[in-house]
Structure 1
Amino acid sequence: GDCPDSLRDNRVLSLDMAAVIAGTKYRGQFEERLKAVMNEIAQNKQVILFIDELHTLVGAGAAEGAIDASNMLKPALARGELQCVGASTLNEYRKYIEKDGALERRFQTVVVEPPSIDETVQILHGLRKKYEDHHRVNIPDETLVAAAKLSERYITDRFLPDKAIDVIDEAGARARLAAQVPPAEVAELKEQLEAINTEKEAAVRDQNFERAASLRDNERDLQAQIRRKQEDWEQRRQSHRPTLGEEEIAFIVSRWTGIPVMRLQEAETSRLLRMEDELHRSVVGQDEAIKALARSIRRSRAGLKDPRRPIGSFIFSGPTGVGKTELARSLAKFLFADTSALIRVDMSEYMEKFSVSRLIGAPPGYVGYEDSGTLTKAVRRKPYSVVLLDEIEKAHPDVFNILLQVLDEGHLTDNYGRVIDFKNTVVIMTSNVGAKDITRGKSLGFAGNDSRGDFERISEKVKEEMGRVFNPEFLNRLDDVIVFHPLGKEHIAKIASILFADVQKRLAEEEITIKLSEAATAFLVDHGHDEHYGARPLKRAIQRYIEDPLSEKILLGEFSKGDEIEVEVSTTEKEKLEFRVLSPAPQA
């Protein structure tokens, strides 16, 4: 190949330091073994010594009055008698070898960078035959490409080609185990055989020997059938190897990362194009906010942004109860198919200067150094998530300096020196800056007609106020500042339908059907609308007027499974809803 003539025909021998040290009880035994190895190599010039985990040389074999392996190798390395290649990680190299300057200068450091995706595919081509024979599967070219691309995109805490090889290995093992499961018909025949055997033993105990003889013949027939079917299955299994497809690779990657398989396989473009429709199902009255959010996410996914930065970074500004947190939760469900992919941090807990260490972990020498930071630990466990920083304006200014690195470089370094990757997160910060002005509307020119032009002027003035609260370098790193509308009665009515649907879903588990009349809906809207508190009073109204009395009636036995209930406004009592059974459950 490309091997130089000076290195051609050289042998590469690996030195196992553990085997050299093992069993050396007395002083001088280790030195004698290592000296013998060195003499053997010095006599044969065409040997290159490879030492894996090179840092283990430092201190190996050292005892009181003895020298360690690194000091024994130094003279031979200096004289050029020993051609040696060592492998070590950067952390262990700095920790052990850099401290020994005499050992470090005898080696030429070569930093091996991870290969690219194309180079990884070439490596996988070379390893394909080995894994095909081991797992008895066929691995087509497109599967190798999928393993390299999916592992590089979704598995962020490991390097190529290691993670791609592991994905291929685990997918092959899974396919092999699936192929080893015998057919269902064989399992059925074995169950029949066990039943016949039990019946035959019972016939023998009852001295019904004719019945026992008949069952014995049936038993032999079943055993012959099982034997034939197993032989056929074994022949098919030996002759036919399952093919490892991209679906198996996606399944393994999704199991490692927690992203559902369909999210890896589904065309991302089609999902992103229907993003507004999905978010509108749970968030009402915030069309501009949803559109701005969707535009920014699409720009990021289309490759028009720096890939090192997070998927998106936003400030949500608006009054309380208008859907800021709900939109973040809905976004987590849409992007990652999991509402638990929302990492929520209350920034009012980080108002003091020292509280910065709670986010990323305490430095060495301080109390709590062994504990990871709140934010870094959560993102390390769920690298695909929506990070919600609630009430960001309450945080200490030093916290913003930490966030600058996240927004610009897409990573943080925790107290253990681990780089935590934020490039697959969406960072959302909520703020109440300008919220009173949005609700009041007077000081910002909002005259009661919620027209597009009026709200755009309001948004601009809220952003101006944010410019006075936050530093320009912080706001400049955000994708967008999104201002939320105050909710009107028409929005509260839509939210009431969404919240009541949750009540219907819970009652459906008890096999009870419930529906809300128009008058009852209007009653809930009247009692659940407050321009200062958004939709939160509506939740309390549904709990007070529907859930509480309904639970009492169910416990008292007034409603049972199969009942169809209608909720109406009470005609006899004010401020109350009444429940009427339309079609009671049939009596047993």
Structure 2
Amino acid sequence: MHFTIPLFERRTTNVACVTLGLGPSTRSREGRHPERVRRLLIEELRPIFEKTRAAQLARFEVPRGIRLEKVRLELTLSGAGLADRRKVSGLCPVVLEPRWASEHERIVFAYHPARQGDAAPIRDDLPLDEQLRALFQVAWAALDDDEIAALWSRGKERLTTLSFSCAPRSALADLPDRPGDDDTGADPAFRWKKRRGLKVLPGLGVSLTQRAAQGDLDGGAPRSPAREQLALLLGAGRAQSVLVVGPPGCGKTTLIHRAVLDLLEADGYAAHRNLDRARDVVAVSGRRIIAGMSHLGDWEKRCVELVEDARSRGAILVVDDLHHFGRIGRSRESERSLADFFRGPLSRREIVMVGECSPEAFRLLEQEAPSFAALFTPLFLPEATPSETFRLMVREVRTLEQRHAARVSPYALRTILDLGGSLLSAQALPGKAMDLLREVVRAGGRPAPAAEPAAARGPRPVGSHDVLRLLSQKTGVPRLLLGGDEPLDAGALEEEIGRRVIGQPEAVRAAADLVARIKAGLVDPRRPYGVYLFTGPTGTGKTELARCMAELIYGGASRLLRLDMSEHSGPDAPARLIGDRYAPDGILTQRAREQPFSLVLLDEIEKAHPSVHSLLLQLFEDGRLTDAAARPAHFNHAVVVMTSNLGARARPLLGFGGAGLPEARALAMAEEAAQEVARAVREFFPPELFNRIDRVVPFRPLTPEVAVRVAEKELDRLLCRRGLTERSVFVRRGAGVAERIAREAFVAEDGARSVKRFVEDEIGSLLSDALAGGAPAAMQLLRIHTRGAAAEDGAASAGSPASPSPSPAPGPFVLHREALVEAEPAAAAWALAPLVEQPFDALVAELSPLLEFVDALERSDGIARLSERIRYHLAEHSRTAAEGPEAHEHAEAVYNLDAMRGAIRAFRERIELARRRSGDDDEQRHLDLELQRFRHVIVADEWSRTRVRLFHRGQQARPLPRLAKQEVLECIAEGHALRRALRKVDEPGQHAVLIELLRAASFTEAPAGGPAGARGAAEEGLFEALARAYGEAGGEVEGWAGARSGRAPEGDGHARAVEHGRGAAGLDAALSSGPELLVLSVVGLCVRDFFELETGAHVWTSLARGPEVVRVRVLPARPGLSPAAAVRDHVERQAAFDEAARRGRPLPPNPAELLPVVRRIRFDPPRRPGKTAPIEIEDYVMGYAEAALVRSLSQALAPLWLLRMSREDVA
């Protein structure tokens, strides 16, 4: 029987529901979710209704005409005496319920929903509020104020209904028992006694019908004709079991959810709101059915109970892993599976099942349980078209924009459809596009807080750049290769690959061409990005190029999936690669599913079993493999690289030991060897497999010149290892070390491996002995020299304060150790140091003495003497020759003295402005008070006057911004700097300096993770931060020059490429290129006095980047010495030092000699722009230490410049 009862619902932060008109059976519930509250009420009411006599059930029905009124009441509640009277008022919800007293008379009762026992009849001819006042003043007299406050109306209140079904008590149960009639169980009238609840279905499944009624089930946009077909199969007189088949992401789950909503609508739920009258759809899974079943026959018993529950309720079972029913349940004791058990109930139409699977899984089910699969009607759901997907995305965008306070650009939808549709090939449309849309809006949008001003609560735009950033994070493909707005520099890309893979120009061009084709979008979307075969002798860089390609295309060497095919030479190789029945997770397919964006390296492919070639045919042609569990692994976003030594050992390798051959003969032999390798490759691979290889890339044998570059590369890798970085030990190799390694280690047949082995054995052992036996030091520098040069170096530097001690290790190389020592503190005090921690008010009090200082300076003789010196130099300049050095000296003096006078005037204006901004101006303060007093128009009653404000802010000048503490500190520091500048303004050489920055030592390597330009500018290090800070700290950058490490055509590893510029223009571009040496020309008032304490070594330690040491020298700007000339002079002196070391001659002074440490910085830059990170700075010269949170290293150096400006010399 179906019942509908009235219900009062109040929605605040929670939902409270109270049944109406049930008398003693009244129930109430409160909770967060309204449907859950209603369900709990039904569970409480159903046993009550089942026990109620049939004659009493009529009073539970909803009375016609019941309504909710909200009446404003003012109640006077009386207590024991007159003093206890109190008045309360509020808006009261009142239920007016009509009841029939007789066939012709109807009485309306009024009551509060929470106090239904106070109900009383009301009359239509009297005001309702007066009758309620009289009723509640008596009924509520004993309530306290809090109880009455809970009765007033709040939130959203309404009358609704609660519908459910149950089997009430039969009237036959009240009849007396007749003797001898014991067989009452067979009487249908007594079946209500045998009614039982569900046994296992509520615990195993989730009711999709209930979720649909609650509004938690998203049915998406209807898709025809699949929607109509599924509705016909499930909504017919006898529903059929259906299996929805389609690729992942095509909308199978959404289609089933739409069918649940359609069934709920067909059952008329919107009219009766009774879930008991709707057909129940329950989601279950095979793994949950057998979960916890350890004994034989346990899961069969549970399945029997599940079938009974589903049959008694007429429920439809939605199974998400139906394609695994042919395997689930099987064990060593029994071959019976879930498919075997449910085949009988399905064939007898006792239950109805709906499943979903991919086409591959459907074929697997047909193979494992053909009779079970035949019981289902397959409904094939194709992938949505791009136009259908776009309409679905537009529909979804409206919801996402409201939920996440975002505004999605139409170009973002186009980017998702184009790039997302092609990159996320493991899924189908519309699923992959919808998932990507939700993810990008969730990551790009932000909720709008209510406390934020309305003007600032604008929706955050989500554009194509957000989609590209998310796709780059998900796939690892650099953003440069995804977007078309940034150009790709092919020359820079080849140069970057050439630094990694040395001596193989043809292979480098092949890798660069592949990156360019991916960037241009010209790769075949149905095949891998590229299928390459690398051929050549061992040790020529085949594996290194594969690793480099993985970093360039996918952002890291971790995307390299390497398979040694010598391990797959047996007949079980296909089973190991793609799995079998007992181990369906194949090595290749599982790793490809986990990371579809990767480079698959099949090393030594000629050693693989011939049956592997059949698998490679499908992989190369279709870009996919299917494992033993019918799960596809997609390779159409992968690069497949095979390596082989075929033909490389057929004849002696060329290029070594044959330097005496004529050039033409050597080229002919090399060409003949290449043809022989190509012939061996064609003979080995079947034609159908060879024709699917995009490119065969030959690797040439290494030459002695290339071996030198390989030695340099292996040395750089060795010197950046953890044992050195953790100990802060820097190692610099001297001239001729790489040449000596190549000369002694290079073996033609082993290629680069012989050089690497020699570096590990000789240099690695030398370093390990030095670290194990050397004296501990906080930071030290080790220099590697050849033994002939080391002896001279030791003799030349003996007796010096920083004399390195040579290592006694035997062999062709020797180490020299040099410890970094801290610089001595300067004989100076810093006037600003005690003021940094002072409160703002105490600092503002220092502004008045500064203004008095300027006034006294202008009244003193100092300004007069300054003017006299200017006139003197002007006269001398006019008297001397206009182009002579003496005239230039007088012109410089006039310029500097006039700059000093201008600085004093500008400082006075700044101090006066700072005082006004600090609120120290009485006139401005009085005006602000008047504006605040009369800022509103006050409107009184109609018989009084209207008072208007006297001032209008629009007629006033815009108020000055409040003064910040940092600005006050800058004013105080500038005042101290002016005092010091007055004493030094006449000193020659004070107003122009050359600042030389040299990368003394660093463990920082070039960042990997994309092609040239994809990673943007290199991450800022200590060298770049100091260069920018010096250009902004004091004075002006007049010019600059820099030198990068380069290689001359003849192989001189110490040649330099010098570049220079005027002003600060181009400095950022020069820093992004990674110069090793940089010289800045800085001019300004007393800049030499400001920067002279910077001379020394600056050390930066970082967990993420490793330590970095920069040597800084502040040089006087001599006439005719430009930054470019200073750089060339350094390069020449360094070349002379290296040449002397190479030839074993007496060594000149080392131009790269380290200086004492003046500053140490500990800082790990924040990963995200705009965030802060902790930093620790120790300045040994200034005797200053600080810990703070900063965004960049340049920001952390700003407080040091303020302290430097407040320098005061002490004796």
TM range (shorter): 0.7 to 0.9
Please, which of 248, 256, 281 is the counterpart of residue 17 of structure 1? 281
1:321 and 2:590 correspond: no
Partner of 2:349: 71
- Equivalences for residues 238-253 of structure 1 within 5 A: 239-253=457-471
Offset of residue 380 of structure 1: 1.3
Counterpart of 2:815 (choices 576, 579, 587) is: 579
Q: Distance in 2 between matches of 1:457 and 1:26?
A: 75
2:748 match: secondary structure: coil
How far apart are residue 113 of structure 1 and its match? 1.4
In the alignment, the residues of structure 1 paired with residue 383 and residue 599 of structure 2 have an alpha-carbon distance, to the nearest angstrom, of 29
- The one-letter code of the counterpart of 1:350 is H
Write the distance in 2 (CA, Å) between the matches of 1:332 and 1:282: 13
Are 2:591 and 1:378 aligned? yes
**For residue 395 of structure 1, what is the aligned residue in structure 2?**
608
Distance 2:787 2:358 in 1: 75
d(CA) in 2 for partners of 1:256, 1:331 = 18
Q: How far has the Cα of 1:391 moved from its partner?
A: 1.0
1:169 corresponds to which letter in structure 2?
R
Shift of 1:330: 0.6
TM-score, normalisation: structure 1: 0.73
User: Is this contact kept in 2: 1:137–1:242, CA < 8 A?
Assistant: yes
Residue 432 of structure 1: CA displacement? Answer: 1.1
Q: Deviations over 1:435-491 (max 9, x none)?
A: 12464349xx99674866653332222111222222222211111222211111100
C-alpha distance 404-521 of structure 1, shift in aligned 2 (>3 A): same
Residue aligned with 1:115, SS: coil
Corresponding residue for 2:709?
494
Letter paired with 1:494: R
Structure 2 residue 510 is matched with structure 1 residue 295: no
Alignment partner of 1:481 is 2:699: no
Partner SS for 1:487: coil
Q: The residue matched to 2:585 in structure 1 has which SS?
A: coil
Cα 1:273/1:133, change in 2 over 3 Å = farther
- Paired residue for 1:343? 561
Match of 1:190 in 2: none
Question: Is contact 2:343–2:372 with CA below 8 Å preserved after alignment?
Answer: no
Indicate conservation of the 8 Å contact 1:55/1:93, yes or no. no
Aligned CA distance change for structure 1 residues 512 and 26 (closer, same or farther; 3 Å): closer
Which one of 729, 735, 738 corresponds to residue 512 of structure 1?
Answer: 729
Moved more, 576-585 or 157-166: 576-585
Alpha carbons of structure 1 residues 135 and 452: separation in structure 2 relative to 1, 3 Å: farther
Provide the residue aligned with 1:112 in structure 2: 381
Deviation at 1:304, TM superposition (A): 5.1
**Equivalent position of 1:308 in the other structure:** 526
Q: Tell me if 1:405 matches 2:611.
A: no
Where does residue 433 of structure 1 map in the other structure?
Answer: 646
Q: 1:153 aligns with which of 389, 401, 422?
A: 422
Q: Is the CA contact 2:729–2:779 (under 8 Å) kept in the aligned structure 1?
A: yes
Which of 756, 770, 786 aligns to 1:553? It is 770
Deviation at 1:499, TM superposition (A): 1.8
Q: 1:283 deviation in Å?
A: 0.6
Alignment-derived partner of residue 434 in structure 2: 165
Task: Report if the CA contact (8 A) 2:527-2:623 is conserved.
Answer: yes
Answer yes or no: is the 8 Å Cα contact 1:492–1:538 preserved in 2: yes
Pair 1:303–1:453, CA change in 2 (3 A): farther
Among 729, 732, 739, which residue is 1:522 paired with? 739
Q: 1:254 to 1:440 in 2, by over 3 A?
A: closer
1:528 and 1:541 in contact (8 A); partners too: yes
Runs (5+) with no aligned partner, structure 2: 1-221, 233-260, 265-278, 285-303, 326-336, 792-808, 825-1211
SS at match of 1:568: strand
Aligned counterparts of 1:508 and 1:430: Cα–Cα separation in 2: 34
Q: Is the 8 A contact 2:282 2:317 kept in 1?
A: no
Distance 1:448 1:464, change over 3 A: farther
- SS for the counterpart of 1:550 is helix
Secondary structure of the 1:281 match is helix
* Structure 2 residue 552 is the aligned partner of structure 1 residue 334: yes
Q: CA RMSD in A?
A: 4.1
One-letter identity of the residue aligned with 1:89 = C
Work out the CA distance in 1 between the residues paired with 2:605 and 2:385. 39
Does the Cα contact within 8 Å between 1:300 and 1:312 map onto a contact in 2?
no
Structure 1 counterpart SS, 2:461:
coil
Tell me, yes or no, if the aligned pair for 1:70 and 1:103 is still in contact at 8 Å. no
Structure 2 CA distance for partners of 1:417 and 1:269, relative to 1, 3 Å: farther
Q: Is the 8 A contact 1:312 1:426 kept in 2?
A: yes
Contact 1:439-1:531 at 8 Å conserved across structures: no
Whole-Å Cα distance in 1 between the matches of residues 469 and 497 of structure 2? 26
Amino acid at match of 1:12: D
Over 3 Å counting, the alpha-carbon distance change for 1:527 and 1:448 in structure 2 is: farther
Output the CA distance in 2 between the equivalents of 1:468 and 1:27: 63
Q: Is the contact between residue 296 and residue 479 of structure 1 (CA under 8 Å) also seen in structure 2?
A: no
Residue 1105 (structure 2) aligns with: none
The 3 A distance-change label for structure 1 pair 116 and 509 is farther
Determine if the alignment matches structure 1 residue 275 to structure 2 residue 493. Answer: yes
Mean Cα displacement is larger for which, 277-286 or 86-95?
A: 86-95
SS of equivalent to 1:288 = helix
Q: Does the CA-based 8 Å contact 2:584-2:627 persist in structure 1?
A: no
Aligned partner of 2:586: which letter?
G
- Residues 510 and 121 of structure 1: is their aligned pair in 2 closer, same or farther, counting only changes over 3 Å? farther
Deviation of 1:339 (Å) = 0.6
8 Å contact kept, 2:318–2:355: yes
Aligned 1:188-267 pairs, distance under 5 A = 231=451, 233=452, 235=454, 239-259=457-477, 264-265=482-483
Q: SS of the residue aligned with 1:505?
A: coil
Residue 505 of structure 1: how far off its partner (Å): 3.3
- Higher helix fraction (1 or 2): 1
Which residue among 536, 539, 557 is the counterpart of 2:756? 539
In structure 2, relative to structure 1, the CA distance for the partners of 1:390 and 1:87 (3 Å cut) is closer
1:560–1:585 Cα contact (<8 Å) kept: no
Is the Cα contact below 8 Å between 1:569 and 1:576 reproduced in 2? Answer: yes
Q: Which amino acid aligns with 2:564?
A: D
1-structure distance, mates of 2:469, 2:745: 45
Q: Which protein, 1 or 2, shows the higher relative CO under an 8 Å CA cutoff with sep ≥ 6?
A: 1
Q: Paired residues, what number?
A: 495
Q: Cα deviations across residues 157-214 of structure 1 (Å, max 9, x unaligned)?
A: 22221122122222333345x556x8xxxxxxxxxxxxxxxxxxxxxxxxxxxxxxxx
Alpha-carbon distance change, 167 to 304 in structure 1, aligned in 2, over 3 angstroms: closer
Once the 2 structures are TM-superposed, how far is the Cα of residue 328 of structure 1 from its aligned partner? 0.6
What's the CA shift for 1:28?
7.6
Q: Deviations over 1:470-520 (max 9, x none)?
A: 222221111122221111110011112222222343446644333222232
Residue identity matched to 1:320 = T
Relative to 1, partners in 2 of residues 1:288 and 1:32: Cα closer, same or farther, differing over 3 Å?
closer
Counterparts in 2 of 1:401 and 1:460: CA distance versus 1, 3 Å: same
Shift of 1:302: 4.5
The structure with the greater share of residues assigned to strand is 2
Q: Does 1:418 align with 2:418?
A: no
Matched, 1:89 2:367: no
Question: Which residue in 2 is equivalent to 1:569?
Answer: 786
Match status 1:131 vs 2:400: yes
- Indicate if the aligned counterparts of 2:561 and 2:591 stay in contact, CA closer than 8 A: yes
Superimposed CA distance per residue, residues 384-410 of structure 1 (whole angstroms, 9 cap, x where no aligned partner): 111111111111111111111111221
Shift, 1:344, TM fit: 0.8
Query: What secondary structure does 1:370 align onto?
Result: coil
**Distance in 2 (alpha carbons) for counterparts of 1:245 and 1:300:** 23
TM-score normalized with structure 2 length? 0.37
Residue of structure 1 equivalent to 2:676:
461
Letter in 2 for 1:395: A
Shift of 1:51: 8.9
Distance 1:434 1:398 in 2: 22
Change (3 A) 1:449 1:344: farther
| Of 299-308 and 124-133, the range deviating more from structure 2 | 299-308
